[in-house]
Structure 1
């Protein structure tokens, strides 16, 4: 049987149609699109490949390029008037993709990330990067998110954390025992991995009723930390190519282990989470509740039955564990590094903590620790420098938004970046320096500096686990700072501590070997 052939004319016609489509699309985006009037590079207005180049080819550098765009389209000297004319009006608002705007203005942050009264959706084109489409975190719709979040709020309330304070302390004591072993064995400790093991053991015990026991691992399960960061980096790829997610999930695990071991570990963990969800659903149907787990909290909530599927439970658990471990651990590692690098600050902190404890059994009481001003300042400064999610978090309003003289069309994704707000030198002079005193000085002067500390987000979409994170930070620092001294080992702030790239969460330079210390007795 003779196969049909394609004529040269047909090929030329097809290619010409494609070129015409691209040209007309580019002209529309440049001159007729609702965002055509906004400043920004022409290439960013035309194609999403602009973001791809800076975020994937250059691996997580788009947030820095956005900063440059704000500088470029901000103030112009007289000899730059041609640049101004070529790039339309200038200001602190920039078009960074064909359909998206970015604003650099800390005072406008709360307008974008508003409370529940002002409905704002997440951008559906962005949330795909979470890889967990049925989780509350990845829910685009404001109303659906509010429904899903309502099932989680009681589980992470202040009261729930207080009821689990002993459980948190038990894990911190386990970490302290491991650090004592490191002293006896003269080991160098990957502090970022050690704190990651701690936060993982806490969140898994808290959420699933069964800890992963990463604190028992000789290297504090370093591969898990690398897996989480690798998964975050893959999220940037998924945002550009959302069709890759179902392919990734459908790929046999054995094949994935050969092609991409880090992705395989993440998928294997997702499979394990699904088995947990299936088992708890089966037990729940038989009348046996898994009390004290996030799964059971969702099952016992008032949300519709359709929201209690195995897929939903798996996605919810996945995002909570990821969010509940890496960011808090990074804050702890950063704070500990800077305290180890400045004995005066460490001693000041230690002296303050010892004024209220420890208790006769050697423990500390969270409620008392929360009243200590310098401890609070150290934690707040560390959380500021950690910045939470470093990538932009676009929101979509249900009505036009007004920013200065600009009217932003309804349905336009608009964002700011936590990292940029937290490091604004006008608000935080010398932002890359660990300076807890800035918070005490601001409070003494009546300045609401805390308004601009946005690492946990703001509004109805702020971090659901904020109470657990603060409890971990207060208690862990109290135990560790009063029991141990740490000597920085082959670690520098510029290479190993400060944020250099955006993989959804901030990471240090690629050549970093982590935050390493030698632990000695206090």
Structure 2
């Protein structure tokens, strides 16, 4: 048998194997009874095309499937998706032990992070060590640092207003949230607020990294391989990825000295004398000091594990809150009556423009709260579907989803559902105040931070940033949008977070100091 015949036999065998596998997936899988596209059930290449080639658009293909097949559909060979706002809280219930889907979390490229933790019990262990750091009490104690950063942004805005410069407000808010989370996590202020362009490259890098997650799901070996290449080579091939890897090395450089200091402090509890603390030197308490001092097992305190956690905290803790602030500023100008009403309320709550009220006081302002909720709704938080795996069968209406099947809903579809939020694309803070909605009832559909045991860790920190930063801007400044329209803010691409038109030059404004 010559080599050509052997090759033909091998090709035929491979084709036969793929054919049998495809038939089994489409017609004989435990999921074959669920409605949906046969092509989607056949292969993951369908999702690859829409999310990688067509850049973050598979979400709308899922929406099309629901319009054709109903509220429950099979979206790929292995997953079920549900579109039902009233079932969201039941699926992601806190009392349900749900695992994450390993294939899906490959997008993060950080196995040691809480975000990428697969099992419910392991996540509970990791989350338990971090929860105290993000409680309302802890964030309130952090408030002086938050106010200092907000005041720094105010000073920059005042300078730029005096020069009538066009400001990339999306980059400015990203600089604010990044400086806050880095100071909190590492006691290392990145000083992005000091950069002339508010470190625009960081915003572009983190959004690029989020987009790369779809490729990382399909090819999980790609990022580890890239990390093995010299950073200079990666930077030459793709500057954004090179910057991301440089940043990851910088995270390690921040964590290493914290680990060293923690080790040294364990060797000698008293290293110097101080009348205030009884002779014990206390290092600045950061998230990583706390993790190292916790009763987590040793394998949870390795350098790589802590760096993975740090990367996800800084990425997730900066982009989503900055997007919300950015969109609120845009919509307040897009809906002038909302701006006027909010301005009047904040003027009354903050009679001295130079003094920011406490976060707890600002929360008492009902229209400000309504504006923030509407801003969160139209910023979406995480746009990508959130698959979970139950250890028991899940019932949805007449369907029984087998245990071990990844099941998801997509937050975007809840936040933009016309049956819950009439005229969903409109910015209408009043919808949160209407007596017929009773506020609390609508709150269950505000899923920007997720729901259940995996709800966003930094929710309280995000709320504090939103109340303080928005109050500062509205009380002290007026602004006009500069060559910025709806295409610059509405979601057109799902890169894990909402991304507007890819040709957008960002959300830009010209600021004026209010007299």
- How far apart are 1:333 and its partner, in Å? 0.4
Query: 1-side partners of 2:493 and 2:283: how far apart?
Result: 40
Partner of 1:480: 473
| 1:313 maps onto 2:325 in alignment | no
Q: Report if the CA contact (8 A) 1:39-1:95 is conserved.
A: yes
- How far apart are 1:95 and its partner, in Å? 0.5
SS in 2 for 1:386: coil
| 1:43 maps onto 2:39 in alignment | yes
Q: Report if the CA contact (8 A) 1:294-1:317 is conserved.
A: no
- How far apart are 1:356 and its partner, in Å? 2.5
Partner of 2:278: none
Query: 1-side partners of 2:354 and 2:489: how far apart?
Result: 34
Pick the aligned partner of 1:265 from 239, 243, 248. Answer: 243
Residues 235-279 of structure 1 show CA distances to partners (whole Å, capped at 9, x for unaligned) of 110011111121021111011011111011111100111122222
SS in 2 for 1:178: helix
Query: 1-side partners of 2:353 and 2:345: how far apart?
Result: 18
Query: 1-side partners of 2:229 and 2:208: how far apart?
Result: 18
| 1:232 maps onto 2:232 in alignment | no
Q: Report if the CA contact (8 A) 2:186-2:255 is conserved.
A: no
Partner of 2:274: none
SS in 2 for 1:520: strand
Pick the aligned partner of 1:246 from 224, 237, 243. Answer: 224
Residues 115-165 of structure 1 show CA distances to partners (whole Å, capped at 9, x for unaligned) of 0x3100010111110111100011011100000001110111111101111
Pick the aligned partner of 1:195 from 173, 181, 184. Answer: 173
Closer/same/farther in 2, CA of residues 118 and 373 from structure 1, 3 Å limit: same
Q: Report if the CA contact (8 A) 2:111-2:117 is conserved.
A: yes
Query: 2-side partners of 1:442 and 1:260: how far apart?
Result: 53
Q: What is the root-mean-square deviation in Å for CA atoms of aligned residues? A: 1.4
Partner of 1:82: none
Once the two structures are overlaid, the 10-residue window that deviates more, 358-367 or 184-193, is 358-367
Structure 2: 5+ residue runs without aligned partners? 266-280
Task: Give 1:501-516 correspondences, 5 Å limit.
Answer: 501-516=493-508
- How far apart are 1:68 and its partner, in Å? 0.6
SS in 1 for 2:434: helix
Q: Report if the CA contact (8 A) 2:39-2:46 is conserved.
A: yes
Pick the aligned partner of 1:496 from 488, 494, 497. Answer: 488
Partner of 2:275: none
SS in 2 for 1:452: coil
Query: 2-side partners of 1:12 and 1:290: how far apart?
Result: 68
Residues 10-49 of structure 1 show CA distances to partners (whole Å, capped at 9, x for unaligned) of 1011101100110000111012111011111111111100
Partner of 1:281: 259
| 1:147 maps onto 2:125 in alignment | yes
- How far apart are 1:221 and its partner, in Å? 0.6
Once the two structures are overlaid, the 10-residue window that deviates more, 313-322 or 106-115, is 106-115
Pick the aligned partner of 1:134 from 112, 115, 119. Answer: 112
Q: Report if the CA contact (8 A) 1:391-1:503 is conserved.
A: yes
- How far apart are 1:337 and its partner, in Å? 0.9
Closer/same/farther in 2, CA of residues 429 and 41 from structure 1, 3 Å limit: same
| 1:71 maps onto 2:64 in alignment | no
**TM-score normalised per structure 2:** 0.95
Alignment size in residue pairs: 499
Partner of 1:333: 326
Once the two structures are overlaid, the 10-residue window that deviates more, 133-142 or 436-445, is 436-445
Residues 342-401 of structure 1 show CA distances to partners (whole Å, capped at 9, x for unaligned) of 332112112112222256962211111011110000000000111111011100001000
Partner of 2:448: 455
Partner of 2:77: 98
Partner of 1:521: 513
Query: 2-side partners of 1:70 and 1:126: how far apart?
Result: 21
Partner of 2:3: 7
Partner of 1:222: 200
Query: 2-side partners of 1:276 and 1:182: how far apart?
Result: 32
Q: Report if the CA contact (8 A) 1:289-1:296 is conserved.
A: no
Query: 2-side partners of 1:113 and 1:6: how far apart?
Result: 58
Query: 2-side partners of 1:443 and 1:155: how far apart?
Result: 37
Query: 2-side partners of 1:8 and 1:205: how far apart?
Result: 64
| 1:31 maps onto 2:15 in alignment | no
Partner of 1:373: 366
- How far apart are 1:340 and its partner, in Å? 2.2
Closer/same/farther in 2, CA of residues 491 and 134 from structure 1, 3 Å limit: same
Closer/same/farther in 2, CA of residues 491 and 361 from structure 1, 3 Å limit: closer
SS in 1 for 2:378: helix
Q: Report if the CA contact (8 A) 2:169-2:507 is conserved.
A: yes
Structure 1: 5+ residue runs without aligned partners? 74-90
